[in-house]
Amino acid sequence: MERNPQLNTRGGLQHLLSIEGLPREILLQILDTAESFAGVTEREVKKVPILRGKSVFNLFFESSTRTRTTFEIAAKRLSADVINLNIAVSSASKGESLLDTVANLSAMQADIFVVRHSASGAPFLIARHVKPHEHVINAGDGRHAHPTQGLLDLFTIRHYKKDFSGLTVAIVGDILHSRVARSLIHGLTTLGAPEVRVVAPQTLLPNGVEALGVKVFHSMREGLRDADVVVMLRLQNERMRGALLPSAQEFNKHYGLTAEKLAVAKKDAIVMHPGPMNRGVEIDSTVADGPHSVILPQVTFGIAVRMAVMSIVAGN
């Protein structure tokens, strides 16, 4: 089998494709670097010259507002030039292949590609074909991984809970289709969280999910009991069209986070959500806007984490 494609020959981070397989030291390096950037985002002049003269290409083959925007802000705060390409409505619809698109952009002197794609593994394919000085950052591929979201979730948890060693984390909702859940699970198990739970009906759990190191729960009452962290996942409307779920209402009744359901978690539990939220489906407004919610700080931390990732890969 080939070498971990994310690491260079010295073991440094060449690309960020997935949290799975990354050593603990690199995860901590990213979180610590993000800590130092968190100060920058609060300054009057929010720029550092780390990526001056470098080009960051945001390649979004699948639409996104939040992730693309935070990558753009992060790159600009590092003084990079940012080019946004919404490929979903450009080359791909003209039949140009993924690798041709990348080769063309590479000819325009790219340094970092931030890639989102609907197919699991697409950033790996790109990483295999870019030049040695170019870096690929996965901004979400299919159901596989969303490593910067996973890292910002880890950053948020560490910010509020200080360390991972005693934590119980419950991830609730559509685990089957969630790249956010997969990335966070790998991050938590790598950093030593002793209990990671997934809470969902059978139809929204992938086969063999226990092998990722999680405990499976089908009831919120059991799954949220004494949890320190509750992560709610977005439930796409299209899930109701197939045979996965009967209705949003029934899902909300059994798996939607309400203040009442949250009551079985620890008193100081934090509630997270990667956004965008479906209020009244997976989370009620009273919780989303309530005292346990750290959903907006997550977004702020996302910028620092993405600055950290870009500065680290560009420095390797």
Partner 1 sequence: MTALHIKNGRVIDPASGKDEVADVFVSEGKIVQELKGKAEKTIDAKGLVVSPGFIDLSARLREPGQEYKATLESEMDAAVAGGVTSLACPPDTDPPLDEPGLVDMLRRRAKALSRARVYPVGALTLKLEGQRLTEMAELAEAGCVAFSQANVPITDTQVLWRALQYAATFGFPVWLRAEDVWLAKGGVAHDGEVATRLGLPAIPSFAETIALGTLIELVRATGARVHVCKLSTAAAVELVRRAKAEKLPLTCDVDIHHVHLCDLDLGYFDSHCRLEPPLRSQRDRDALARALAEGVIDCLCSDHTPLDEDGKHMPFAEAEPGATGLELLLPLTLKWGEAASLPLSKVLARITSAPAKILGVASGRIAPGAPGDLVLFDPRAPLRVSAETLKSQGKNTPFAGHELQGRVRTTIVAGNVVYEA
Q: Smallest gap, in angstroms, from Cβ of residue 60 to partner 1?
A: 15
C-alpha–C-alpha distance, residues 149 and 184, integer Å: 8
Q: Smallest gap, in angstroms, from Cβ of residue 77 to partner 1?
A: 30
Site for partner 1 in 62-121 (CB under 8 A): 97-99, 117, 119-121
Q: Smallest gap, in angstroms, from Cβ of residue 93 to partner 1?
A: 15
C-alpha–C-alpha distance, residues 19 and 152, integer Å: 12
CB 122 within 8 A of CB 61: yes
**Under rule CB under 8 A, residue 16 binds partner 1:** no
**Residues composing the chain:** 316
**Under rule CB under 8 A, residue 7 binds partner 1:** no
Amino acid occupying residue 15: H
Site for partner 1 in 204-223 (CB under 8 A): 206-209, 211-212
Q: Smallest gap, in angstroms, from Cβ of residue 188 to partner 1?
A: 15
CB 40 within 8 A of CB 307: yes
C-alpha–C-alpha distance, residues 283 and 275, integer Å: 11
Listed ranges 37-45, 189-197, 203-211, 269-277: which one lies at the site for partner 1 (CB under 8 A): 203-211
Nearer to partner 1, 33 or 138 (CB): 138
Q: Which residues pair with 211 in a beta bridge?
A: none
**Under rule CB under 8 A, residue 20 binds partner 1:** yes
Which of 116, 158, 161, 179 is close enough to bind partner 1 by CB under 8 A?
179
Q: Smallest gap, in angstroms, from Cβ of residue 34 to partner 1?
A: 25
Local structure of 144: helix, strand or coil:
coil
**Under rule CB under 8 A, residue 265 binds partner 1:** no
Q: Which residues pair with 16 in a beta bridge?
A: 137
Q: Smallest gap, in angstroms, from Cβ of residue 250 to partner 1?
A: 24
Cis status, amide bond into 276, omega within 30 of 0: yes
**Under rule CB under 8 A, residue 1 binds partner 1:** yes
Give residues with Cβ within 8 angstroms of 163, minimum separation 6.
Answer: none
Could you list the beta-strand ranges (E) of 24-97. 55-60, 81-86
Listed ranges 29-37, 136-144, 166-174, 291-299: which one lies at the site for partner 1 (CB under 8 A): 136-144
Residue 51 host element (H or E): none
Where does this chain bind partner 1 (CB under 8 A)?
1-2, 4-5, 20, 97-99, 117, 119-122, 124-125, 141-145, 179, 182, 206-209, 211-212
